[in-house]
Amino acid sequence: MFKPMIRTFALPAISAILMAVSAPPLRAETCAPAVGAICADNQTLTEAALIAKLRDADIVILGERHDNPVHHDWQARLVAALSPAGLAFEMLPEVKQDIANAAREAGDDLEEALDWDHTGWGDWGMYGPIFEAAPDAWIAGGGVERDTLMKAISEGAATAFGDRAAVYRLNDRFDQIIIDDMLDEQDKAHCGALPTAMLPGMAEAQQLRDAAFADAALRLVDRGQVVLITGNGHARTDRGVPLYVGRARPELKVQSVGMIELVGGQVVEPLRYDIVIFTDPFDRGDPCEDFIKSRQKP
């Protein structure tokens, strides 16, 4: 963390005492959004200070925009620095975690073992280095199967999660302001193409996934520090994975990192994270164009 230089002067003792009493407290550098800036509590962190802060956590949540290579570079670098005992992934279904661990123990090709090309998660070149950055870490998958997601949409997150829903208090209702924010997020994520009546179900699916990702991290935490790789929306402290970890294991220390793209140098999304790393945006064109076209196909 930035520490200002303090200069000393030869002053009479009484003057020095008076100045010490009356002088305003020294402050760390205020953090302004800029590509490469790391911010926590509106103060600038160096990368070394960031790593030191993360080392103190039981669970570190590293957010991302899934298609931004810079975010994955940051994740791999931080995972390598932390060398966690466990790695949990949104991108990996729970049913594949045993395959992942067996492949790593046997020294087999992990990409092939996971049949990554058919997962829908893009180029292995973005996620492979994250696995490789902690070669001895045990793997957990938090990905939710489609049938379970559909059940959450139709019957609610608690019903879809099953017997352990009470651990994460999935029947608890959020404040209306958070509900409205979730509905708005789902509407934007689906390019305004979904009927309004579908949005509450989509928000239930989001809650289910947040709890499932928390569960994946908690399955590993008794081994030592865990890093969870997930999307920024799930990393949010107000209603994402940190909330559900806190409900299940309130004694654990959690640090959530959001990887935030600056658009025209401006912040265009809520900063609901313990720490933020600002990056350039990824040129993904207009994702809504392809989404709407896909829904118009016969």
Domains by residue range for the chain, with CATH: 29-282 (3.40.50.11550)
Nearest to 87 by CA among 280, 237, 229, 232: 229
For residue 95, give the H/E element and its range.
none
Q: Which long-range contacts (CB under 8 A, 24 or more apart) does 288-295 make?
A: 288/191, 288/192, 288/193, 291/190, 291/191, 291/193, 292/191, 292/193, 295/193
Against a cut of 0.85, is the pTM above it? yes
Rounded Cα gap, residues 15 and 137, in angstroms: 57
108 and 162 Cβ atoms separated by less than 8 Å = no
Biggest distance spanned by C-alpha atoms of the chain: 87
Cα Rg of the chain, angstroms: 22
In the predicted model, residues of the chain with pLDDT beneath 70 are 1-28, 290-298
What pLDDT does residue 212 have?
A: 98
What pLDDT does residue 294 have?
A: 65
Let me know the angle formed at the C-alpha of 228 by 165 and 121, rounded to the nearest 5 degrees. 95
Q: Pairing relation of β-strands 43-44 and 38-40?
A: antiparallel
What pLDDT does residue 287 have?
A: 74
Size of the chain, expressed as the number of residues it contains: 298
What pLDDT does residue 13 have?
A: 42
Q: Crossing angle for the helix pair 146-155 and 199-218, nearest 10 degrees?
A: 130
Residue 25 CA, chain-centre distance (Å), reads 34
Could you count the other beta carbons within 10 Å of the beta carbon of residue 146?
A: 7
CA end-to-end distance (rounded Å), the chain: 56
**Cβ neighbours for 125, distance < 8 A, ≥ 6 positions apart:** none
For residue 2, give the H/E element and its range.
none
Report residue 85 as tokens. 């005992």
What pLDDT does residue 290 have?
A: 65
